[in-house]
Amino acid sequence: MRLKRIELAGFKSFVDPTRIELGEGITAIVGPNGCGKSNIIDALRWVLGEHSARHLRGGVMDDLIFQGSDTRPPVSVCDVELTFTVEQGALAPPYHELEEISVRRRMVREGGSDAFINGKMVRLKDIIDLFLDTGISTRAYAIVEQGSIARMVTARPEERRVIFEEAAGVMKYRTRRREAERRMKDTRQNLDRVLDLLEEVRAQCRSLKQQASRAERFRSMQDEMAHLQSLALALRYAALQENSAGIEQQLSRARHDEAEAVGRLSGCERVSIEARAQVQLFDEQAQEIQQQLRVAEQQRADLQQQAERMAGERRLLSERQHALEARIEEGNAHIRRVTGDLEQAQAALDLQDDTLLQAERTEAATAVQNALQGYRQQSAERDRLLAEYERLKHDREQIEQRREQAAAAMQRLAQRQEQLDEQLKQTQHQQRSVSHRLSESEQLLNTALQTQAESRDVLALATEELECCRQAREQAACSLAEAEALLRERTGLVLELAARTRSQDVPDALRDTLKGQGAVWMDEALHVPEGLEAAVAAALRGRSADALVPADHDRDQWPSLIEQASAAPVAIFVADRQRSPLTTTPDGGRLLADAIGLSADDPLRAVFSPVFLVERIEQAVGSGVACVSRDGWRYEPEGWLVPPVGNRTARRMAMKRQLTEQQQLQDAAGQALAVVRASFAQAEARLARQQQQWQQAHLDKSSGDSGAQTAAATVAQLQVELTAQDQRLQRLLVDLDDVTKQQRHWQQQFEQAQDIDDGKLNRAKAALDERHTQMQICEQGLNQARSLLAASEQSLALFVQATDNLRQQLQRLLDERERLLAQRESDTDRLARVALELLQANRHSDLDAQIDAAAGRVEQAHIAMNHVRQQGHEQQQHAHAAEQAERHARDLRQQRAMACQRIELALAQDVTRLQELESEIKQRCRQTAAALLAAVDIAGADAEVVMTRSRDLGERLARFGPVNLLAIGEFEQAGERERFLAGQAADLDASLSTLNDTIVRIDRTTRQRFREVFDQTNAIFQQTFPQLFGGGRAQLRLDSDDVLTAGVEVIAQPPGKCLQDIGLLSGGEKALTAVALVFAIFRIKPAPFCVLDEVDAPLDDANVGRFCDMIRDLADRVQFMAITHNKITMQKADRLVGVSMPEPGVSRMIAVEMEREPG
């Protein structure tokens, strides 16, 4: 694969369409700094899939589009296309048969970007996948950007590993591994969801199985009901068919009568039509005469308007003639005035003369030049005298400074000698003291080492005890956490059940009010054993918020009590403890109050004592007391059997029982928590005591270590101090010798310093003051000459300005006179035309005769119109009589048609009822009416008997209670869903195993390929490094044993240097090392092309030569593009591509083929 062509338009500085043709070998891209060379590299990276604006040297992606310049407006689109030549089979399908492929990317400002392969829009990921593992992706080793060559060797090992993965071709495996891990994660999540759904579906199947069996019984009753309904529908359909046949016979007779009335109406219509035709003929004649009348009147009106218009035009032309004559006279007067002003302006201009002003200016300029020359001479002489004076003054100051410096140095050296003598004595005394202290410290060190060993043994025993206490404390903490979690769980269940059992039908304020009046709320005081919820709900008739009030309640409070209970509403049960006991009981039954455990003094016993509990409601039939069964049926003494209606009440009671049980469990959990907390407190107390003991032992050990370290440090410090005292003693002796030598030197300097002559200095200052006074006089003369020159130049400028003003005024007057003459000529022509038009208007005088002729024609048209109208009126009366006869015939026909319509309506209603009944039959019976009549035997069937049986069966279905008819289908669907989910779980489990095997195979392949490429690259790197450096050695090394994650380290030793870290190399050495590494990779896995952006910038000429020689060796296998400023690199290139910026912000290209000598 080779890069054949690059085409850019609107990308950064390449605003115009630019085409770069590339060939084999080395292409050098040259040009001045900032002309846009690196923009070509950015374009390559962008097309190959780069999506980070920062890596493309921009802030946002819109920065890639040309932003405009001083001479060019910004554009809204950028487009880059790369064309590659490829070998057949080098690319993956569907591009494996192509010999050339183009990759293009286009971006619209604030509109995103599009990618294309061979002109077909694709995803950007498709382009990235196309070049994956070819070495030319956005982060691969084929594109070496400006300044990044050194970072290739100074990067972290894991960052450097990416280059080797690209060369080894394992990037696609890494992508597949990430995809497999992502899919494995998703599969695990799906498996967890499927298992949760499977558990829910299995629980649903158990519930639906019970509902389906009940629905089967209900469906059999529905089938019988459907048969009865079909029979009733068939009877109704047969009766409607007989009624429709009679109506059809009536309709036939009515249609015969209607036909006779239609024949009579046709004769009357013919007579009426002939009469209307005559009336229409007279109407047309009247309209024709009317049209002639309108034309005559229009002609008369037009002639009158034309006469009025001609009179107005004559008046207007006369007024225009007078106005033009006055305007011409006024223009002649204005021309005479302008001619006079023009002559005055020409005379004033002829009098202007600037000869005198020019002479004055020349004289002033000469004076300024002379004064300036004298000033410069005086200034030069003043500068010379000033330099001489400053030199003498500086020499005197230098001599004084040297004498003062020598005196101060001699004094300082004397003080230094005294200090050194005193320090020498002190050092000798300190040396003897340090030797004595060193012997004492060595004895203390031996004692501290013994104490340290004893404290370490005690600390080891305390540490073991502390670890045991910690383990005991952790076990107690785990038990405490479990107990607290259990208590929180129980408390949450209690709160949830309490909230669910609280009645929402009765406000809390009403509950408190009725409690204050002695009422007992059943849902609060009643505790139902398990299994009796439905029976108690049946006894309460489905209510759960009833209030019980004693029979002896104050009767004065009953009205307010009833009013408050009606607002909720709340049922009130009046408890009478004196009711007589029941004498008859059903077989196998017992009191419901005893079954639910109500004592004799319980106020709720009065509610449930009249009700008996039986196992099956059939046992209560025939007894004289109220009974309830465990499944919720209720039997009334009057004979009523009421199906279960208190499911909500039963559930509330069950939740109330669960609440009581959970409260007991909560109390037990609280007690257990208290015991665990006590154990935890004991474990913490024991741990605290042991920690104190361990801290004391550790403190003792630290104290012993500190004592030993202090003693050792003291001994070492004293040894160092003794050595330092010896060294200091030697330094003091050397310093004393140096001080003696410096004293002799400064004494010689003091004696050599001599005073300068003060008279010579005073004479130089006097000459300088005199020259300064003369210079001020010359400066005053120069300023006066300059003032005279400025005044003369100002006078000359005013003269020129006045002359220009006169010339402008003269030209303006000439233009004004020309304009007035042209206007006078134009007005004269217009006056002539107006006079001619007025003469023509006076000649039209025959309009009055034409107006009289038009009035005669209008009168004749009126007479003819009246005659035609009279004849038309007579014909209209004849037509009116014919229309009356036609209306009588139409009324008769309409009456008979309405009779037919009534019969047809009755027939249509029967047909509609038949159709509706047929639709009902199709809807209910799923067959046509004819099929139903054929299938059902209606002979001898009584409709009344059928309807009675149908009503009885409907009542039985109503008493059957709520039935989930969908339970059968839902049970089958749930079973099918259970089998489907089980299969899905098995498939997901198998998918996890497959994905895990895939990851293992990918890791094995990645290790093998990476290790092979790494070993080969390391071997070649050890060869290319000495070639580029002219010696030395280098190698690559993995920083861990795991090949999958190990980073790559670079070890380099340039010639003549020790083996050292890469970060310590110079910039050129880093660049050469990186180049050696890149070229070693290219020898193993050559990329289609390589881009080098100013890689040779930090190299000297010798290294650039070796660098170019290695590029030339690889150029047969790799296509190189090098951005460079180095002449050696340019000479080695096969072609040069120049980039220039002829206008600000816009880049241009020019290509040159380099002819190389053979060999």
DSSP string, 253-281: HHHHHHHHHHHHHHHHHHHHHHHHHHHHH
Identify the pLDDT of residue 344.
76
Domain count along the chain: 1
866 domain-assigned: no
Give yes or no for residue 579 having a pLDDT over 60: no
640 domain-assigned: yes
494 domain-assigned: no
Q: Report the distance separating Cα 1079 and Cα 79, nearest Å.
A: 32
Give yes or no for residue 214 having a pLDDT over 80: no
44 domain-assigned: no
Residues of the chain with pLDDT > 90: what percent?
3
Cβ–Cβ under 8 Å, residues 375 and 821: no
Question: Which segment of 570-584, 805-819, 984-998 scores lowest on mean pLDDT?
Answer: 570-584
- Provide the pLDDT confidence category of residue 1127 given band limits of 50, 70 and 90: confident
Identify the pLDDT of residue 8.
93
Identify the pLDDT of residue 226.
75
User: Nearest-CA neighbor of 487 among 662, 669, 664, 665?
Assistant: 669
Residue 52 three-state SS: coil
Q: Report the distance separating Cα 745 and Cα 413, nearest Å.
A: 11
- Classify the C-alpha dihedral 924-928-931-932 as positive or negative: positive
Give yes or no for residue 751 having a pLDDT over 70: no
Which residues of 517-563 form beta strands (DSSP E)?
520-521, 547-550
Give yes or no for residue 502 having a pLDDT over 70: no
User: Bigger pLDDT: 82 or 1053?
Assistant: 82
Q: Report the distance separating Cα 490 and Cα 664, nearest Å.
A: 9
Residue 1156 CB neighbours (<10 A): 11
Q: Report the distance separating Cα 587 and Cα 598, nearest Å.
A: 22
Give yes or no for residue 580 having a pLDDT over 70: no
Count of residues making up the chain = 1159
Identify the pLDDT of residue 545.
47
Give yes or no for residue 503 having a pLDDT over 50: no
Domain that holds residue 590: 509-659
Maximum CA extent, the chain: 170
Residues 947-969, mean pLDDT to the nearest whole number: 75
648 domain-assigned: yes
Identify the pLDDT of residue 789.
76
Give yes or no for residue 543 having a pLDDT over 60: no
Give yes or no for residue 699 having a pLDDT over 50: yes
Give yes or no for residue 678 having a pLDDT over 80: yes
User: Bigger pLDDT: 381 or 498?
Assistant: 381
User: Bigger pLDDT: 200 or 935?
Assistant: 200
Residues 572-596, mean pLDDT to the nearest whole number: 65
Identify the pLDDT of residue 200.
83
719 domain-assigned: no
Is the bond preceding 157 in cis, omega lying within 30 degrees of 0?
A: no
* Structure confidence by residue, pLDDT tens digits, 484-500: 888 887 787 777 667 66
Question: Which segment of 252-256, 912-916, 939-943 scores lowest on mean pLDDT?
Answer: 939-943
- Provide the pLDDT confidence category of residue 106 given band limits of 50, 70 and 90: very high
Identify the pLDDT of residue 1158.
44
596 domain-assigned: yes
518 domain-assigned: yes
Give yes or no for residue 996 having a pLDDT over 80: yes
Residues 392-419, mean pLDDT to the nearest whole number: 76
